[in-house]
Every structure is written in structure tokens, then in C-alpha cells.
Amino acid sequence: MRIMVTGGAGFIGSAVIRMLIGETDHEVLNLDCLTYAGNLDSLTSVSENSRYRFSRTDIRDLPALRRAVKDFGPDIVMHLAAETHVDRSIDGPAAFIETNIVGTANLLEVARAHWESLEGETKARFRFHHISTDEVFGSLGETGAFTEETPYAPNSPYSASKAGSDHLVRAWRETYGLPTVASNCSNNYGPYQFPEKLIPLVVLNALEGKPLPVYGTGLQVRDWLHVDDHARALITIATRGAVGEAYNVGGNAERTNIDVVRSICRLLDELQPGAAHCPHEKLIAFVADRPGHDARYAIDASKIARELGWQPRENFDSGLRKTVEWYLDNRDWWERVRSGSYRGERLGLIDADT
């Protein structure tokens, strides 16, 4: 099949594309406008493959999007392109509204026109797969987990913009019959993640002897999933998910943020015993909490297990070890990323002086 992946130069999109090229026969179009978070270096292992192509296109640009979709003629659209960093959404929500909501509406319209032009078997197999987050469900108390029936209650501009896009996808299915599937996933970690997100930020700051910022008490709980497990789930949902369904995807690996940071410190102490900053825990710095910070996320992923046979393969401890080793072994990748405009500074405080 011909699979168009939006946001394919990002963290999760690039993992999906490496898996599609490496483990299937599908043809892939990576459609990405290369924001600060997009990085074609994450795709060097597949960029020469004849089944891979790249289009530098912004989903906010409707005519360009229309041309790209017409040229490629996708059987499946996997929509990952988004502004994704909660702290940046606090500093500047406009880009989140424009890309995550208006961009998704553009893509739905272009996909609908394309789908309506198809016939027979090709029309029947067309799917629009929308990739979203568990953050649309808001925050949990000490117990329980998000299911596909949990009501939406987004708390940050990021999660509200993703919730908006989820509702648009639903409306395009109900109103126009566009064959959509959707998924909501918990926090991902793994190689090639932009170092503004918790795990790579902590690894790289620790290597450089910089403070390891922990927001508030550090007792917020996240449910971690290895990015390759997510990529496998996404390919399963895009190719075998039932039209009109949403699937929650999670790793069954709840950890507090402070536990994650301490685990990384211990791994670095072990992997870099002679490092100047051992023990790395000394670098931990509790800083002002994120405004509107959700206390706990946890995913009930039993539906995708039951209906599509997907289970995570990686456990968090071994996955975290491999991830830390990857950052140690792939300095070139992150040094190039860090030489750009982002250097690990704190983002997302309403009052910048706090």
C-alpha cells in the first residue's frame, strides 16, 4: 500500500517510517514541514530506499497539501504532524491551534476529496488514522486508568488543541463518512526524541553537568511506552483497526517523574563511572511546577490487546537502559540538534521570572 505519514521527521513519525520501510513492503511518503522538532537525520537509514520519499509540506498550506496528496495517492494517511511540547503551548498557544486544529481540518478536507475520487477496492481500503494523546482525558487521581470511553477534559493548550483535532476527525467520519481510525497514547520514550522532553533532556543535561530540572514535587505519574512499541501499535491500527474506532495505547509502566530522573542518574553512574558529575543525582534541581500540570496519566490498553492482539514488548527498565545507551552512542545526532535554536532552557512558565 501507499502510506502517507505526516510528521514523519519527528520522534514517533520517524520510528513509524523506519519500521514501515524496514519491516513491510509498503511505499511511504513522509510529509513534514520540518519545524524545530523535525529532523531528517532520524531517517538516514531509510532515505535511500526506493519505497521512501519526502515532501516538505506544511499542513497549514491547503493548496500545497492538496498537491502532495494528489501526487502520491495514498491508501492510508497516518496523521502525526503536530506541535507537541506542552511547555511551548503555554508560551505560545497560537501555533498549536494553527497546526493541530486548522492543519488537521485541512488534512481532513484534502483526504476527503481524495477518498471521494477513489472507486471500488481502493476506496474501500482507504483509511485516515489520527494519532493523538492520552492528555486529552485530563488528569487522574491515585487510581483508575483512561479507557476509550473516558470523557475529554484537556488542561493545557496542547491537549486542548489535540482534543479539538480528535473531535474534527470524529465529525468528518459522522458527517462525510470518511473512514477514520484514531488512537490515544501515553508518554513515549526512546531514540531520536527531541531533547526538550523529560528523558533526553535529563540524559543530556546530566552528561553536561547541568541541573536536572524536576517540576514541582516530581510526584506526577506518567505511563511510559517505548516508541517502537508505539510504532508497531500504530501500523497495526492503521492497517487492521476497525473504522470509527479509537484505541488507547499504553505501556503499563507507571512511574513518577522523580523516579524516572533517579533511574537515569543511576544508569549514567553505571555506564559512565569516571564521569565528572557522579553521582548524577547531585544535579537534580526541583523547580517551579508547570501551570496546570496534570497529576497522573494511566492507560487501559486492553481493547487494542483484545481486538488487535497488540502488546508492548519492551519493559520500562530495559527500554530506559537502551535509550540512555543510545544517547551515549549517538552524540552526533543530538549535538546537531542542540546546536540549533534550542539549548535546553526552561520553557512554559507564565511568569518568566519565577
**Footprint of ligand NAD (CB under 6 A):** 7, 9-13, 32-35, 37-38, 58-60, 80-84, 99, 103, 131, 133, 162, 185, 187-188, 194
Q: What is the dihedral of CA 33, 169, 299, 81, to 10 degrees?
A: 0
Least Å distance, CB 57 to ligand NAD, is: 6
Least Å distance, CB 118 to ligand NAD, is: 24
Q: Of 107 and 324, which has the nearer Cβ to ligand NAD? A: 107
Given the residues 32, 83, 135, 229, select the one marked as catalytic: 135
Rounded Cα distance between 182 and 258, Å, is: 31
Rounded Cα distance between 213 and 329, Å, is: 23
Omega of the bond leading into 273 within 30 degrees of 0 (cis):
no
130 HSE (CA, 13 A, CB side): 31
Q: Of 75 and 134, which has the nearer Cβ to ligand NAD? A: 134
77, β-bridge pairs: 4, 128
Q: Of 53 and 275, which has the nearer Cβ to ligand NAD? A: 53
> Residue 135 catalytic?
yes
Given the residues 58, 134, 228, 294, select the one marked as catalytic: 134
CA 102 to chain centre: 19
Residue 115 · residue 142 · CB < 8 Å: no
**Coil, strand or helix at 74:** coil
**Which residue's CB atom is positioned nearest to ligand NAD?**
10
Q: Is 121 exposed, middle or buried (0-12, 13-18, 19+ CB in 10 A)?
A: exposed
- Grid cell in block for residue 33: 514541514
Least Å distance, CB 274 to ligand NAD, is: 33
Q: Of 156 and 187, which has the nearer Cβ to ligand NAD? A: 187
> Residue 158 catalytic?
yes
Q: Of 190 and 213, which has the nearer Cβ to ligand NAD? A: 190
Q: Of 182 and 324, which has the nearer Cβ to ligand NAD? A: 182
Residue 297 · residue 134 · CB < 8 Å: yes
Q: Is 269 exposed, middle or buried (0-12, 13-18, 19+ CB in 10 A)?
A: middle
**Coil, strand or helix at 200:** helix
Rounded Cα distance between 292 and 204, Å, is: 26
Asked whether the CA dihedral 20, 25, 26, 28 is positive or negative, the reply is positive
CA 87 to chain centre: 15
> Residue 342 catalytic?
no
Q: Of 99 and 150, which has the nearer Cβ to ligand NAD? A: 99
Residues 6+ apart with CB under 8 A from 174: none
Least Å distance, CB 29 to ligand NAD, is: 12
**Residues, the chain:** 354
Least Å distance, CB 119 to ligand NAD, is: 29
Given the residues 32, 58, 83, 158, select the one marked as catalytic: 158
Query: Which residues are designated catalytic?
Result: 134-135, 158
